[in-house]
């Protein structure tokens, strides 16, 4: 059933104890039964944890309310820290965080993938720290791990991590917070990866949502010219919620955020669940919606100064980008459908991609590696009486001793973000 004339919950209501969110079919729904669309921003002030300074969260959340945001993405957190203050602030502001489970030393490596007990336990620590907050919208199992076709053999490890984190969530009897993946918008990979992570018919292994870091829409442009029509064609009746986990091209600038009308408009709203704008803080890449002070020398030192930018204080809108986005969101009221009226049977389960298509290396529904095992075959999934061809890695080598050599969510300043992905897009574009 297509969307009915029912206003979805988008940044509305500043009440405490927000309704929780679940993924059903290709939509998000609140526990009140209303469809939920993301209007959010990437929020990572430093490489460390932005959810530990309650006073800073208060200042930022107040301005996010004025912007019209209802969600944030946080790339890195410290599970041992106390997040009660910031999470309470964002809950009162009607804002739902999405949290990345991986850390700087637990990435699944793209060229030499692993999924071992150390990684599992570190991911679990992050989940344990945030699962208690009702306004947690979801967890990312990874961000842009695969950025080229010859890294696609890492895909079974992404799926294995998803399987094990969902199993951990359920074993602990936690709320079924959706667990998904944030992908780079690489044309030769996108269709195979999004289909692979949702194929096979086993919901315990598949992602609960698929998100895309895409900078294809560069103002001024139109829907048909931007590349969004192509993205929409591959998202039609997708089996799980799909949304933009980063967007907001800043070339040539200023940003007009015209893509928001497309994402929440009739072309895409039945299949997409919204967007997260990159990013909250102004840095060297000039994607910021706010700043905490003028740019400084890269060598400048002092409290809350890093990479030539102040990273705390009173947030000041970067104009005209902030106002342009604020005005766009103010005029956008996506329609939705009641959970009770929604029939998820119309979504389409995708076939597992075969190897050889545009360089994709995973052949069908391969048996996933268990914790500590290495996948040594890309043959189709064996029969129930057969064993998958996996091998125990030699010695005690661990990926936790080596940082991801190509983490796509780190900026030139060392922060977690999507700048490299943006640069890669422009390389292809040019």
**What is the average per-residue pLDDT within 217-228?**
95
CATH topology of domain 38-332+404-429: TIM Barrel (3.20.20)
pLDDT band at residue 390 using 50, 70 and 90 as cut-offs: very low
Q: How is the chain split into domains, by residue range?
A: 38-332+404-429
Residue 288 · residue 294 · CB < 8 Å: no
Residue in 91, 205, 216, 246 annotated catalytic: 246
144 is catalytic: yes
Is pLDDT above 50 for 362?
Answer: yes
3-class SS string, the chain: CCCCCEECECCCCCCCCCCCEEEECCEEEECCCCEECEEEEECCCCCCCCCCCHHHHHHHHHHHHHHCCCEEEECCCCCCCCCHHHHHHHHHCCCEEEEECCCCCCCCCCCCCCCCHHHHHHHHHHHHHHCCCCCCCEEEEEECCCCCHHHHHHHHHHHHHHHHHHHHHHHCCCCCCCEEEEEECCCCCHHHHHHHCCCCCCCCCCCCEEEEECCCCCCCCCHHHHCHHHHHHHHCCCCCCEEEEEECCCCCCCCCCCHHHHHCCCCCCCCEEEEEECCCECCCCCCCCEECCCCCCCCCCCCCEECCEECCCCCEECCCHHHHHHHHHHHCCCEECCHHHCCHHHCCCCCCCCCCHHHCCCCCCCCCCCCCCEECCCCCCCCCCCCCCEECCCCCCCHHHCCCCCCCCECCCCCECCHHHHHHHHHHHC
Residue 311 · residue 296 · CB < 8 Å: no
Q: What is the pLDDT of residue 16?
A: 54
Q: What is the pLDDT of residue 376?
A: 61
Q: What is the pLDDT of residue 384?
A: 35
Q: What is the pLDDT of residue 8?
A: 41
> Comparing 14-18, 103-107, 339-343, which segment has the lowest mean pLDDT?
14-18
pLDDT band at residue 104 using 50, 70 and 90 as cut-offs: confident
- The Cα 216–Cα 29 span in angstroms is 28
**What is the average per-residue pLDDT within 241-250?**
98
Is pLDDT above 50 for 9?
Answer: no
Is pLDDT above 60 for 325?
Answer: yes
Q: What is the pLDDT of residue 416?
A: 34
> Comparing 165-169, 327-331, 380-384, which segment has the lowest mean pLDDT?
380-384
Q: What is the pLDDT of residue 394?
A: 29
Q: What is the pLDDT of residue 392?
A: 31
Which among 415, 410, 414 is positioned nearest to 423, based on CA atoms?
410
- The Cα 3–Cα 273 span in angstroms is 12
What residues are paired with 281 via a beta bridge?
Answer: 290
More confident residue, 303 or 313: 313
387 is catalytic: no
Is pLDDT above 50 for 271?
Answer: yes
Is pLDDT above 60 for 204?
Answer: yes
Q: Model-level pTM?
A: 0.85
Q: What is the pLDDT of residue 358?
A: 86
Q: What is the pLDDT of residue 313?
A: 97
Reported as a single tens digit per residue, the pLDDT across 86-101 is 999 999 999 999 999 9
Q: From the CB of residue 115, how many other CB atoms can be counted at a distance below 10 Å? A: 28
Q: What is the pLDDT of residue 373?
A: 87
Q: From the CB of residue 350, how many other CB atoms can be counted at a distance below 10 Å? A: 20
pLDDT band at residue 103 using 50, 70 and 90 as cut-offs: confident
**What is the average per-residue pLDDT within 267-295?**
96
**What is the average per-residue pLDDT within 52-73?**
98
**What is the average per-residue pLDDT within 44-71?**
97
Is pLDDT above 50 for 116?
Answer: yes
Is pLDDT above 50 for 247?
Answer: yes
Residue in 22, 144, 279, 411 annotated catalytic: 144
Q: What is the pLDDT of residue 346?
A: 85
**What is the average per-residue pLDDT within 399-419?**
31
Residue 406, CA distances (Å) to 74, 211, 213, 230, 334 in order = 19, 19, 16, 27, 37
Q: What is the pLDDT of residue 403?
A: 27
b/e map 233-269, b = 16+ CB within 10 Å: eebeebbbbbbbbbbbbbeeeebbbbbbebbbeebbb
Reported as a single tens digit per residue, the pLDDT across 130-165 is 999 999 999 999 999 999 988 999 999 999 999 999
**What is the average per-residue pLDDT within 89-117?**
94
């Amino acid at each position: 059933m297509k969307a009915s004339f029912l206003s979805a919950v988008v940044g509305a209501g500043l009440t405490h104890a927000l309704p929780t969110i679940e993924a059903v079919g290709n939509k998000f729904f609140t526990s009140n039964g209303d469809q939920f669309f993301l209007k959010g921003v990437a929020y990572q002030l430093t490489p460390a944890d932005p959810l530990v300074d309650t006073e800073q969260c208060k200042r930022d959340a107040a301005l996010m309310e004025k912007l019209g945001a209802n969600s944030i993405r946080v790339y890195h957190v410290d599970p041992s820290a106390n997040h009660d203050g910031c999470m309470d602030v964002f809950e009162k502001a009607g804002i739902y965080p999405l949290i990345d489970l991986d850390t700087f030393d637990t990435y699944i490596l793209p060229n030499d993938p692993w999924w071992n007990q150390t990684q599992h336990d570190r991911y679990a620590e992050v989940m344990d720290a945030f699962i208690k907050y009702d306004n947690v919208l979801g967890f990312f199992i990874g961000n842009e791990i695969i950025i080229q076709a010859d890294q696609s053999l890492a895909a079974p490890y992404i799926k294995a991590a998803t399987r094990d984190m969902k199993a951990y969530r359920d074993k602990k009897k936690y709320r079924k917070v959706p667990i998904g993946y944030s992908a780079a918008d690489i044309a030769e990979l996108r269709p195979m990866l999004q289909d692979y992570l949702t194929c096979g018919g086993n919901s315990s292994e598949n992602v609960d949502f698929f998100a895309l870091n895409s900078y294809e829409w560069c103002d001024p442009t139109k829907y048909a010219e931007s590349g969004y029509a192509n993205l929409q064609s591959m998202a039609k009746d997708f089996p799980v919620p799909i949304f933009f986990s980063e967007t907001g091209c800043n070339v040539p600038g200023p940003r007009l955020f015209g893509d928001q009308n497309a994402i929440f408009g009739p072309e895409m709203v039945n299949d997409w669940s919204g967007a997260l704008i990159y990013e909250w803080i102004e840095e060297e890449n000039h994607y910021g919606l706010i700043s905490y002070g003028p740019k400084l020398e890269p060598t400048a030192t002092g409290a809350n100064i890093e990479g030539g930018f102040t990273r705390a204080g009173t947030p000041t809108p970067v104009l005209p980008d902030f106002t342009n986005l604020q005005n766009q969101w103010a005029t956008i009221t996506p329609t939705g459908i009641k959970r009770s009226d929604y029939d998820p049977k119309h979504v389409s389960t995708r076939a597992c991609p075969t190897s050889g298509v545009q360089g994709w290396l995973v052949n069908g529904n391969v048996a996933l590696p268990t914790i500590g095992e290495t996948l040594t075959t890309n043959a189709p999934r064996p029969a129930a009486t057969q064993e998958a061809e996996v091998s125990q890695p030699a010695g005690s080598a661990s990926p936790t001793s080596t940082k991801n050599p190509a983490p796509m969510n780190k900026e030139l300043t060392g922060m977690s973000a999507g700048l490299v992905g943006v640069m890669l897009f422009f390389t292809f574009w040019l």
